[in-house]
């Protein structure tokens, strides 16, 4: 391989959703909400919820095993593992290290990335930089979340929005892209509109351990930056929306996805939507939607795909690639 012309290419993907499915109707039995309200405001019909004791690293492990099998890569070949999560198993060690042990992947680095719902595009961009810089050859990038653990199940304005799951991709160095362009952004001054403002200190939770959100502010912010960052990566790759086969935005809300596609001038059928069945799985949402669309034959080799995420921080970013 020519080391002066390194790129990274996605060569396999996988996913894991917990077995238990909770419908809107089931939520409405205990919460002052309705299936109609949730569907019309968000497009969500159901979510998967992790079993007691099932952790982000458990979901990440199952998704990673599928991704490695699809790529035809053994765990020993991995020289980089990055897990994007805001719901790690522990404060430390990182979920990536726990995953590394479960996989028996002993030949490389492992660390977590914390950028909430943009976590997967942050992790993918980081892995791409490692590979292009010659620091890694074969990377596993995972988004894994158990958001059900940080929700106040008595708060109807947030509890209905999220679910649990994990998605993974294997990246490999190649002389042709692969990943064509990436962009990442952050604005910490917007921290207050979406947060879990708590910490563990002296054996106690200080602040709140539950997700808090200003839904309308998040909606407006998300639609604006998803439009901007999509245009930014297309311009970086010297291309345009006409030459894009698939858009996979973070799966938070079908209205945000539709508004983003409309602003970009992309026919809505070219945006992959899985939020109806998965709800918002934060860092896992993009790789979950991607793996589903690869396995059901919508996304094919050679097609051009744009991932874009936005989430707490605030953070946002995009990755444009040929599959
Ligand atoms: N069921 C029934 N009523 C509800 C529910 C519910 N689950 N939740 C809130 N309501 C009520 C509110 O109490 C309010 O009642 P009121 O008028 O009597 O005070 C009414 O519905 C309207 O509330 P709003 O918050 O104004 O509703 P809105 O139309 O803005 O929809 C929503 C809320 C769906 C959260 C919307 O703002 C949104 O989609 N925001 C984007 C947020 C998002 O997707 N966050 C995900 C995490 S962020 C990310 O991933 C980027």
Ligand 1 in reach of 157 Cβ (< 6 A): yes
Percent of the chain with pLDDT over 90: 98
Domain match, 126 and 43 both: yes
What pLDDT was estimated at residue 177? 87
Range of the domain at 192: 180-322
What pLDDT was estimated at residue 3? 67
Radius of gyration of the chain (CA): 18
24 is annotated as an active-site residue: no
Helix or strand or coil: residue 97?
A: helix
Residue nearest atom 48 of ligand 1, based on CA coordinates:
311
What are the tens digits of pLDDT across the range 213-253? 999 999 999 999 999 999 999 999 999 999 999 999 999 99
Residue 43: pLDDT over 90: yes
Ligand 1 in reach of 35 Cβ (< 6 A): no
278 is annotated as an active-site residue: no
Domain match, 184 and 170 both: no
How far is 211 from 221, CA to CA, in rounded Å?
Answer: 18
Residue 4: pLDDT over 80: no
Ligand 1 in reach of 44 Cβ (< 6 A): no
What pLDDT was estimated at residue 27? 97
What mean pLDDT, rounded, does the chain reach?
97
Q: Residue 264: name the closest of 235, 236, 227 by CA.
A: 227
Q: Residue 246: name the closest of 171, 182, 297 by CA.
A: 297
Asked if residues 283 and 145 have their Cβ atoms less than 8 Å apart, the reply is: yes
What separation in Å is there between the alpha carbon of 292 and the centre of ligand 1?
28
Q: Which residue among 154, 176, 198 closes a domain?
A: 176
Query: Which of the 8 DSSP states describes residue 50?
Result: P
What are the tens digits of pLDDT across the range 74-131? 999 999 999 999 999 999 999 999 999 999 999 999 999 999 999 999 999 999 999 9
DSSP for 258-272, please give it: HHHHHHHT--GGGB-
33, 41, 161: residue to mutate for ligand 1 pocket, most atoms within 8 A of CB: 41
Domain match, 96 and 17 both: yes
Asked if residues 251 and 280 have their Cβ atoms less than 8 Å apart, the reply is: yes
Asked if residues 16 and 166 have their Cβ atoms less than 8 Å apart, the reply is: yes
Q: Residue 79: name the closest of 16, 141, 149 by CA.
A: 141
Domain match, 202 and 154 both: no
Ligand 1 in reach of 111 Cβ (< 6 A): no
The active-site residue, picked from 7, 48, 250, 278, is 250
β-pairing, 304-311 vs 164-174, is: unpaired
Helix or strand or coil: residue 22?
A: strand
Q: Is 218 exposed, middle or buried (0-12, 13-18, 19+ CB in 10 A)?
A: buried
Q: Which residue among 160, 176, 192 closes a domain?
A: 176
What are the tens digits of pLDDT across the range 168-207? 999 999 998 899 999 999 999 999 999 999 999 999 999 9
Per-residue confidence at 5, pLDDT binned at 50, 70, 90?
confident
How far is 161 from 275, CA to CA, in rounded Å?
Answer: 9
Domain match, 146 and 207 both: no
Domain match, 98 and 197 both: no
Beta strands in 24-163 (DSSP E): 46-49, 80-84, 109-113, 138-146
How many domains is the chain built from? 2
Residue nearest atom 49 of ligand 1, based on CA coordinates:
311
Domain match, 160 and 88 both: yes
How far is 89 from 96, CA to CA, in rounded Å?
Answer: 10
How far is 1 from 9, CA to CA, in rounded Å?
Answer: 14
Q: Which atom of ligand 1 is nearest to the CA of 194?
A: 48
What separation in Å is there between the alpha carbon of 214 and the centre of ligand 1?
8
Per-residue confidence at 208, pLDDT binned at 50, 70, 90?
very high
């Amino acid at each position: 391989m020519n080391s002066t012309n390194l790129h990274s290419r996605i060569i396999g993907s996988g996913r894991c959703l917990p077995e238990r499915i909770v419908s809107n109707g089931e939520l409405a039995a205990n919460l002052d909400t309705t299936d109609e309200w949730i569907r019309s405001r968000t497009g969500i019909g159901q979510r998967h919820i992790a079993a007691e004791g099932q952790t982000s690293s458990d979901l990440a492990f199952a998704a990673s095993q599928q991704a490695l099998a699809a790529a035809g890569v053994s765990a020993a070949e991995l020289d980089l593992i990055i897990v994007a999560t805001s719901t790690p198993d522990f404060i430390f060690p990182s979920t990536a290290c726990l995953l590394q042990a479960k996989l028996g992947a002993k030949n490389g680095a492992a660390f977590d990335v914390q950028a909430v719902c943009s976590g997967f595009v942050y992790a993918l961009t980081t892995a791409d930089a490692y590979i292009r810089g010659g620091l890694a050859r074969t990377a596993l990038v995972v988004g894994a979340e158990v958001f059900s653990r940080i929700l106040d199940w008595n708060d109807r304005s947030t509890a209905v929005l999220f679910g649990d799951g994990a998605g993974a991709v294997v990246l490999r160095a190649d002389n042709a892209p692969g990943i064509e362009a990436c962009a990442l952004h952050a604005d910490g001054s917007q921290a207050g509109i979406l947060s879990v403002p708590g910490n563990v200190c002296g054996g106690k939770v200080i602040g709140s351990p539950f997700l808090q959100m200003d839904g309308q502010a998040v909606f407006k912010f998300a639609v604006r930056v998803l439009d901007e960052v999509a245009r930014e990566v297309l311009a970086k790759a010297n291309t345009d929306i006409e030459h894009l086969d698939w858009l996979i935005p973070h799966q938070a809300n079908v209205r945000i996805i539709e508004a983003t596609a409309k602003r970009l001038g992309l026919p809505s059928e070219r945006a992959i939507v899985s939020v109806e069945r998965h709800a918002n799985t934060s860092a896992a949402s993009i790789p979950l939607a991607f793996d589903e669309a690869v396995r059901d034959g919508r996304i094919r080799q050679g097609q051009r795909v744009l991932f874009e995420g936005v989430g707490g921080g605030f953070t946002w970013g995009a990755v444009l690639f040929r599959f």
